[in-house]
Chains A and B, each alone.
Chain A
Amino acid sequence: MRAPVQDQEAIERALAGEQHAYERIVRRYQHMVHTVCIRVLRNAQDAEEATQDAFVKAWQHLAGFGGNAKFSTWLYSIAYRTAISHGRRRKADGPSVDDLLHHPAAEERDHARGTDIKHHLDRALATLSAEDASVLSFFYLEELSVEEIVTVTGLGASNVKVKLHRGRKKLLDVLNKELGPEARELFLDHA
């Protein structure tokens, strides 16, 4: 599958030296890239740094994007590997969900929705390993196929399937345990 026409055009213009074209790409994908980084790093500040690094790396290697794969998959791959590399450097093991929840942008949006769905989902995802949480996020949120997740993460197909199965089960267990019947109802009403 090729990159969408609007991406392809922006990439070509960026390669021709138009940085505004790349800015359009950044605006289009920054939420997705930031979410990938947050799933891996679980820290808003580190995730923003990794997001910046991922976009700069993507810019540096833009000429190497062949256009044969989806641009988003290519970008996810850079973002995921950059976040993993940041995580190793910082050795920031263990979830810091509070940091996530107190991020100004996240708070603002949660407040706007008047719900704590995000709070519960983030807390439940934080009980999983960074890799499992990322795989679940790629599958459910970004709606990537198993093959695309393999491309992005570099994991084997069977490994991805195991992580999906195991992560899904654990996430459902945590959510079902943490939420009482009323909360589940509220949860589903919002969903």
Chain B
Amino acid sequence: MPELNDQDLRKLFRTVGHTPPGADLTARIMARVAVTPIARPLTVEPLIGKRGWAIAMVGVVALLVFAFVTGGNSTAPPPWLVPAAETLRHIRPPQDWPVWTLGTTACALLFTAVDRLLARRTAA
């Protein structure tokens, strides 16, 4: 009589099959399932979307370009920037108003606007 081999082992496992649980196992499982909520995966969306980042990036690039082109002084800007430079000149604060005050005010306004925007999106 030859010894058992790998093929015999496969047949044996198949013949023996699964070990059946107790008859009421399904009912016990379903009783627990009935009082257990399904965990829904959280869908995390970025607070600032792609469009928001794109607008911010365009703004920053525009500012940088403007700063490079004008050189940060009052030399004449290129013709295509004249209208913007004129507008900026008109809204320039009085000479005795420090630049940092203007920057701080702009930042405060910007942060307030972003805060409002994020609060509105979170509430939605």
Contact = CB atoms under 8 A, between A and B. Distances in A.
Interface of A: 15, 19, 22-23, 26-27, 30-32, 34-35, 38, 47-48, 51-52, 55-56, 59-64, 100, 103-106, 109, 117-118, 121, 136-137, 140-141, 168, 171-172, 175-176, 179, 181-182, 184-185, 187-188, 190-191
The A interface is mostly helix, strand or loop, or mixed, namely helix
Nearest to B21: A34
B21 A117 contact: no
Contacts of B39: 60-61, 63-64
Given A52-B32, A59-B33, A176-B3, A15 B9 contact: no
Contacts of A190: 15
Interface in B14-38: 14-23, 25-26, 28-30, 32-34, 36-38
Contact of A191 (B8, B20, B34): B8
B41 A63 contact: yes
Nearest to A34: B21
Contacts of B29: 26, 30, 51-52, 55-56
A155 to B, nearest CB: 20
Contact of A106 (B13, B19, B34, B41): B19
Contacts of A171: 9
Contacts, number: 124
Contacts of B17: 31, 141
A52 B30 contact: no
B5 A59 contact: no
Contacts of B13: 121, 136-137, 140-141
B40 interface: yes
B89 interface: no
B4 interface: yes
B45 interface: no
